[in-house]
Amino acid sequence: MKVLRNGRHSDMLAVWREGGTVYFIDQRKLPGALEIFEARNYRDIAFAIAHMVVRGAPAIGCAAAYGMALAMTQHDNVEEASRAIKATRPTAHDLFYAVNWMTEMAPRLGPVEAAAKYASDIIDKCRLIGQNGGKLISDGDIILTHCNAGALATVDYGTALAPIRIAHSEGKKIFVYVDETRPWLQGSRLTAWELTNESIPHAIIADNAAGHFIRKDVDCVIVGADRIAANGDFANKIGTYEKAVVARANDVPFYVAAPVSTFDFTITSGDDIRIEERSEEEITTMGGMRIAGPGEQARNPVFDVTPHELVSGFITEYGVFGPDGIKSLHGRL
């Protein structure tokens, strides 16, 4: 992805490895500061995932792969490392997929080589998602997206942002409405930062303003996903479900962009997806200041589940599929 530093654009990955260290763009610090978090063992990787240094299902998967490689090369207890990494966040399927993939592939390829292949494959898949999804965007389109499903969430290109990047690079005049995405503000902090660095026209909107703009002038909605069930029900950042409902009510196409590693064909529907719930302080405070009254309690589910009936198409590295067509992807995992 393009990053503006000291007045110049340069290419940068969200996660990468050099020697025995894994480096992350620290997403907690954006957009105010571009700082790098260094992970030197699998425990550092687990911390980075659990504490939102890195987030987004594909990027979490890459972090997990690198964490397993560190555990293997540093002769740690690999089963213990696997449990620790898997325990960080329960919803994103890529996390579990990557750990299991490393367990299978590292003995064949070598730990470092296997992790590098996993990360490079994710980047390539996201590039293909961009190419496939870019065909759905027309010149002059206005697009709405929720949370951050860009390069920060996937190492490079993005899922939901990949088609937008490709459409922009092809010279299509597009505009993006960016949901702020409470409580971590991944939209206003991260998606807007990425779009600014790419010079893609956009505006940040309050989450509750999405319906107003979908009804008024949005041509399509594109979101990412953290886990997709066999029937096409999917979990994504809290607030996604209501965007899908409003899009359907206004005949606006609603697309989900995700690599096949996000599909979990071991579960039949969204009812089987475990929804992470984080600290209520993320709701009752903002920027370190309490915004709720003394003693007020809060609920903080991180994700919600959108039924497959509301999805116009799944944008994958293999093409765009309707909910009935994703069964063909099972054999490509």
Closest CA relative to residue 157, chosen from 166, 147, 146: 166
- Spatial contact of 165 and 223, defined as CB atoms under 8 Å apart: no
Residue 276 neighbours by CB distance under 10 Å: 17
Non-local CB neighbours of 166 within 8 Å, separated by 6+ positions? 130, 131, 133, 134
Q: What tokens were used for 245? A: 């409902």
**Alpha carbon distance 66, 202 (integer Å):** 34
Sign of the alpha-carbon dihedral angle for 322, 323, 326, 327: negative
The burial of 279, by beta-carbon neighbours within 10 Å (0-12 exposed, 13-18 middle, 19 or more buried), is given as exposed
Strand 227-229 versus strand 234-237 pairing type: antiparallel
Bridge partners, residue 225, by sequence = none
Q: 264 an active-site residue?
A: no
Nearest to 156 by CA among 196, 176, 192, 129: 129
Q: How far is CA 126 from the centre of its chain?
A: 11
**Annotated catalytic residue: which of 26, 44, 207, 226?**
226
Residues forming the active site = 226
